Chains A and B, each alone.
Chain A
Amino acid sequence: MRRDHPMPCPDRHDALAELALGTLAGQERSDVLAHVARCHACALELSELSRITDDLLQLAPAASPPVGFELRVVERVLACSTSAPTGRPRRRKRHRLASWRPAAVAALLAAVVGTGAGLLAASTTAGKAPPAASRPVTLSASLARHGRVFGHVRVSSGRTPWLFVTVDDLTGPGSRTVICEVTLVDGTTAKLGRFRLSQGYGSWGVPLAAPADSLRRALLVGTDGSVLASARI
């Protein structure tokens, strides 16, 4: 066999493949994520399988878009960034990211995971486990509101600190977008990004540019600004 590393746990192997493909949700997903966080063999397998699923997308046959495609993209980008110098786009609904970078929190704001698992298009159907899942998790806190637990926030230390959020049952039909905010020990807040919940479930991760121990609280906020749940880290 080619394998020069330990075999993944047989009873987790199916779930690892599904997680790599981004099609695992809910409890199954939380379970295998938690397992991967402490099982090196499974973490390795997950990262290898995730790479294959990434590469599969590159095999999609190419096709020429209608004439004028690039022009229309440019027009749309310009339309939402004409007031750009202050980093405050006009069409906030769709492109709020720039406004999430006030100087006070610039140090915190992080890069989004390259596989797309993060900010950009995260959804329960498609989000993948962040690579950090294989690193030791140093902090974990329940996401709760009025005493009810809706999921967990985990912050891993290491060279690249990570925050990841698992939402297990934030009730509500259909899909909805939630925003993840954090409060730092110095009292400043930062919006780290947004992700999608499907039928109340979802998970999302983001690398942090600030040390893990500088976080005090994490909040899940609805797109209308209402606080849905919070975690004291």
Chain B
Amino acid sequence: MVRPRATSSDEAPDEALLAGMALGDERAGVAFVRRYQRRVYGLALGILRDPGMAEDVAQDAFVRAWTHASVFDPRRGAAATWLLTIARNLSIDALRVRRPEPIDPGDLAFADLASGERLPEDAVLADEMLARLHDALAGIPEAQRRAVALAAFYGRSAQEIAEIESVPLGTAKSRIRMGLTKLRDAVSVEEAP
């Protein structure tokens, strides 16, 4: 997505905002937080299921992104991905530290990502690739979707997924792999020239 001729911080590309933040430009930082706060907080809330913890983690994520803006390298990926990965990792850490209880598979906020009940931000679905991924999630078997969600959002290992789902380790591993490769295939099949 190219946003040419940015004239203010609200329109500036993510990379420009991060560059500004690295130089101590507070307005750039505020614009960046504004742009992503709903997504970062939404991700943390979905993983943690606790508004207080989610706010703490979301703030931590932004503080880290801000204080490390100088080392963000756009060649290695999009700013949104970078930021959300920070938020995801912090959420998982918080989950493990503060709520070591096993996950009830019926209680997974993200296992029903594809249900359409709770939707990502409009801007996200406007991205064709992400919209396809969203649809693709609905098309894979539920067990595989849950395995992928448990790993991607909750940081659960194959062994932990096997325990949560009461299936052999090998089954958990192949569910993870099959789910993820099906998503990849669904997304990239139409990308081929």
A interface residue numbers (CB < 8 A to B) = 2, 4, 13-14, 16-18, 20-25, 48-49, 51-66, 69-70, 72-74, 76-78, 80-81, 84, 89, 95, 97-98, 109-117, 119-123, 125-126, 131, 160, 175, 196, 207
Minimum Cβ distance to chain B for residue A179 (Å): 15
B interface residue numbers (CB < 8 A to A) = 24, 26, 29-30, 33-34, 37-39, 41-43, 45-46, 51, 54-55, 58-59, 62-68, 70-82, 84-90, 92-93, 96, 109-110, 113, 118-121, 124, 127, 129-130, 133-134, 137, 148, 151-153, 155-158, 173-174, 176-177, 180-181, 183-185, 187-189, 192
Nearest opposing residue in chain A for B79, CB measure: A114
Minimum Cβ distance to chain A for residue B105 (Å): 16
A61 in contact with B55 given A18-B151, A49-B180, A74-B33 (CB within 8 Å): no
Task: Tell me which residues across on chain A come within 8 A of B180, comparing CB atoms.
Answer: 17, 20-21, 49, 52-53
Task: Tell me which residues across on chain B come within 8 A of A64, comparing CB atoms.
Answer: 37-38, 41
Task: Tell me which residues across on chain B come within 8 A of A73, comparing CB atoms.
Answer: 29, 33, 59, 62-63, 66
CB atoms of A61 and B188 under 8 A apart: no
Q: Cα distance A69–B192 when bound, in Å?
A: 42
Q: Cα distance A68–B192 when bound, in Å?
A: 45
CB atoms of B151 and A23 under 8 A apart: yes
Q: Cα distance A126–B51 when bound, in Å?
A: 22
CB atoms of B192 and A4 under 8 A apart: yes
Closest 9 pairs between A and B when the two form their complex, measured CB to CB: A114-B76, A114-B77, A116-B85, A111-B73, A121-B89, A63-B42, A65-B41, A61-B118, A62-B38
Q: Cα distance A64–B55 when bound, in Å?
A: 10
A69 in contact with B55 given A18-B173, A60-B42 (CB within 8 Å): yes
Q: Cα distance A78–B172 when bound, in Å?
A: 45
Contact among B65, B93, B148 for A56, CB-based, below 8 A: B148
Minimum Cβ distance to chain A for residue B146 (Å): 13
CB atoms of B134 and A17 under 8 A apart: no
Task: Tell me which residues across on chain A come within 8 A of B88, comparing CB atoms.
Answer: 57, 116, 121, 126
Minimum Cβ distance to chain A for residue B100 (Å): 12
CB atoms of B77 and A115 under 8 A apart: yes
A97 in contact with B148 given A22-B155, A69-B37 (CB within 8 Å): no
Q: Cα distance A92–B86 when bound, in Å?
A: 20
Contact among B71, B90, B137 for A121, CB-based, below 8 A: B90
Among B24, B88, B129, B137, the most chain A Cβ lie within 10 Å of the Cβ of: B88
Task: Tell me which residues across on chain A come within 8 A of B54, comparing CB atoms.
Answer: 65
Q: Cα distance A84–B156 when bound, in Å?
A: 39
Task: Tell me which residues across on chain A come within 8 A of B130, comparing CB atoms.
Answer: 55, 58-59
Minimum Cβ distance to chain B for residue A152 (Å): 22
A55 in contact with B129 given A17-B180, A60-B46, A123-B93 (CB within 8 Å): yes
CB atoms of B67 and A95 under 8 A apart: yes
Q: Cα distance A21–B70 when bound, in Å?
A: 26
Task: Tell me which residues across on chain A come within 8 A of B118, comparing CB atoms.
Answer: 61
Minimum Cβ distance to chain B for residue A66 (Å): 6
CB atoms of B124 and A81 under 8 A apart: no
Q: Cα distance A97–B113 when bound, in Å?
A: 36
Minimum Cβ distance to chain A for residue B178 (Å): 8
Task: Tell me which residues across on chain A come within 8 A of B120, comparing CB atoms.
Answer: 58-62
